[in-house]
Structure 1
Amino acid sequence: MLFPYKFVEHNICRLNDWIEFLFTEVWCNADEEYSLDLLNGCPDLKKVAEEEAWKEDPSMKPNDYITGPISVIYDLFKTELDGKQRKTLRKKFIKSRNLEKVLFHSKYYDVLENTYIESLSPILAKNLYDFYTNLFDNVLNLTVIKDRNGTLKNHYDAFVKINTAGICPFCGINTIRSYEMAGHEAYDHFLPKEKYATYSINFKNLVPTCHDCNSIHKLRKSPIFDFKVGQNLRAFYPYSQNALDVDIICNVNIKNYKDYGHRHLTINFKGKSRFEQDKINTWTNIYNTETRYKDHLTNESKGKYWLVQMLDELEKQTDRDKEIARLVKNYDRNKFKGDNLLKVPFLKACRTEGLF
């Protein structure tokens, strides 16, 4: 990740607060008969459950994503888990909410995986998975929720008015559409809901992401665990308050500036410490960053055109030196504006190689 997002407080985030109350104060304390009065500690959630209660009648057709599942899961907590298990799960759930510490694998702050709940009760895990994934896929779009908390588009518009870079922080090359446009970018579940369902509606785990990053490269990969080799990974926290510092170092072995390919380029990503380097390695692997950057630099309208500009449009070496100095100055001001991110390291490498 090249730079962090600023987290935006919005009414839509309240749904996650309501569900956290439900998990910690209702389900994990399940020891009596269920009734809607158990939701008295969260009046907004109780009102929503009451308004949606009519859907419990199967003759009414519409799917019940709230009231029925809440009571079913409550009964499963009561029958499938004993008091000690519920208490342990509650503690684990609370600790797992600190996403920044979870991503850094801080002691006592473990991620809550679907498999952990499955180890306690497969039927409970299945019902929780269905409930949580429906929160994002369906509940956010219910009128009863939108009337209270607004829509995902409302949140997105507020989000991009504060996060104004205009590019995807996971690749730095694709734009993020503005609030003036219809629709919105996809919200990636940074911790994929397929493996970590309880983060499904946590907006600190939801990050607007360009189509390529979300739907082509990251997909359902976990940024904190490599399931293929069974190894923990360190990841950037998308809403960190600390600036990220990634140096992109490019080397070239180009003989013909109009005809070169990926094999003629090497790109390295350097952090300021071993821990930062671990995060960078996770980021570049998940988003296939090196290959995508090479593709950018071998594109006729990008990298190859930048070289044409330097060699064909600027005939004098003094003019080329001035242009490089101007680009470096712009890069130092803001490496994420225009084509600075890749153009400057690439052209500097070309100059070092002796292309101009």
Structure 2
Amino acid sequence: MIKSYKFIETTHSKLHKNVIAFFDRIENETGVYSSSFFDKDFYNKIVKHHPNILEEPLKKIHNELRTWLQKDRTDFCEKIRMSNDIKKICNREVVPTLLNNTPDKLKAIIKKLFYDLYVQVLSGDNVKNEYGSLQQHFEEFKSPNKIFKCPTCGLMPSKSKTERKDDYDHYLAKDKFPFSSVNFRNLVPICTDCNSSNVKGNRDVLKINGKRKIFYPFDETHTGIKVECQLNNDNDNVKEDDLDFSFEYTTDDNRNEEIESWKVIFKIDDRYKKRSKGKAQSWYQHYWQFISKPKYKGLDINLKKELYKDFCLTDPDIEFIKLPVIKAVEKSSFAKALLESKLYSMEFNH
């Protein structure tokens, strides 16, 4: 993640907390199913209004678990708890339980239960009335999180709290890691491109990056990623449509594992290369027009560059790689001459 979010505790988290509390309760229960296994308000206002998609599967799970040895029941419930410690999972301190690793008798029930929790219960009228809608959560969440570009890629605009919410990405895909399907520490607002099927989609982020750590989206100690760019084909045959850029990424606290994971999960290098190739000319033109303004005539060129940098850094909508790409062109010889000759020509013809 280029930037991390600040986690905001809202009433919406109560759905997840009450479901986990149910498993905490039945860990040591060997008696028959009872509505007393739930918080009273949660049962009366949520559970009993979803008898088929919520209460019935939870009842079936309890009836199965009560036949197990205590050690096995505790082990199962502990796996559920660990599967929801998203921070430790990202740090590779604990391993979440995959759906395929759950007992066969429970697999289908758990898959449907936690899918329905997100798709039907969380968006249902009873949860909306009691805890609020996902749109209301987004509005509360975005108030202190004034991030104007997608914090994952830094390319696409991030929605404001007054717009229809961004996509909520299941950082750990719900069809593979069902136990955190309504855990808001696993629900991350990101742009449509990052969440698309040809980028992250529902891929297993813990599998595709080997055993490296991954960024925890709500890690407030994360100070952000820095990027350097270079032009790879600066020669006398270079054409503006064929500019080839590459990127290097660093953090102040050497999060190299997380960076490598981020690059793989969100196909960062490929997306940045395509974006820079398509935008380099217009970005450099914007830069050129800025430093060529008559009001800056007579100013030292380095001061003009600093003014442009400050101008961009105060623009919340600037794309993450814009300044590094301009800097790479500035360092080049042939590409810079090519673009500037076209800009001179445009000004002359104008």
TM range (shorter): 0.7 to 0.9
SS at match of 1:192: coil
Q: Which runs of 5+ in 1 are unaligned?
A: 56-63
Do the aligned partners of residues 250 and 87 (structure 1) sit closer, same or farther apart at CA in structure 2, a change above 3 Å counting? same
- 1:267 has 2:266 as partner: no
- 1:199 has 2:198 as partner: no
1:272-300 deviation line (CA, Å, top 9, x unaligned): 465x111001111111111211222222x
Contact 2:173 2:203 in 1 (8 A): yes
Contact 1:250 1:349 in 2 (8 A): yes
Q: Pairwise mapping of residues 162-311 of structure 1 onto structure 2 (< 5 A)?
A: 162-181=144-163, 183-215=164-196, 216-226=198-208, 231-252=210-231, 253-255=233-235, 259-261=240-242, 264-272=244-252, 276-299=255-278, 302-310=279-287
Report how far residue 166 of structure 1 moved: 1.7
1:259-284 deviation line (CA, Å, top 9, x unaligned): 2336x21112224465x111001111
SS at match of 1:285: helix
Q: Pairwise mapping of residues 1-356 of structure 1 onto structure 2 (< 5 A)?
A: 1-26=1-26, 28-39=27-38, 42-48=39-45, 51-52=48-49, 55=51, 64-79=52-67, 81-106=68-93, 109-117=94-102, 121-181=103-163, 183-215=164-196, 216-226=198-208, 231-252=210-231, 253-255=233-235, 259-261=240-242, 264-272=244-252, 276-299=255-278, 302-310=279-287, 321-330=302-311, 337-339=316-318, 341-354=320-333, 355=336
1:32-65 deviation line (CA, Å, top 9, x unaligned): 11121232xx122221356326x5xxxxxxxx21
Deviates more, 1:284-293 or 1:199-208: 284-293
Q: What amino acid maps onto 2:90 in structure 1?
A: L
Contact 1:167 1:176 in 2 (8 A): yes
SS at match of 1:298: helix
In 2, the alpha carbon distance for the partners of 1:88 and 1:111 equals 13
1:59 paired residue number: none
Do the aligned partners of residues 35 and 318 (structure 1) sit closer, same or farther apart at CA in structure 2, a change above 3 Å counting? same
Q: What amino acid maps onto 2:19 in structure 1?
A: I
SS at match of 1:217: coil
Q: Which runs of 5+ in 2 are unaligned?
A: 338-350
SS at match of 2:189: strand
Q: Structure 1 vs Structure 2: percent identity of aligned residues?
A: 23
1:187-238 deviation line (CA, Å, top 9, x unaligned): 00001111110010100000011100012411012222228xxx32310000
In 1, the alpha carbon distance for the partners of 2:122 and 2:180 equals 14
SS at match of 1:226: coil
SS at match of 2:320: helix
In 1, the alpha carbon distance for the partners of 2:155 and 2:140 equals 22
In 2, the alpha carbon distance for the partners of 1:113 and 1:82 equals 22
Do the aligned partners of residues 178 and 340 (structure 1) sit closer, same or farther apart at CA in structure 2, a change above 3 Å counting? closer
CA RMSD of aligned residues (A): 2.5
Report how far residue 317 of structure 1 moved: 11
Report how far residue 314 of structure 1 moved: 5.2
SS at match of 1:232: coil
Do the aligned partners of residues 340 and 142 (structure 1) sit closer, same or farther apart at CA in structure 2, a change above 3 Å counting? closer
Q: What amino acid maps onto 1:266 in structure 2?
A: S
Deviates more, 1:70-79 or 1:312-321: 312-321
2:346 paired residue number: none
Q: What amino acid maps onto 2:166 in structure 1?
A: E
Deviates more, 1:93-102 or 1:166-175: 93-102
Contact 1:324 1:348 in 2 (8 A): no
SS at match of 1:73: helix
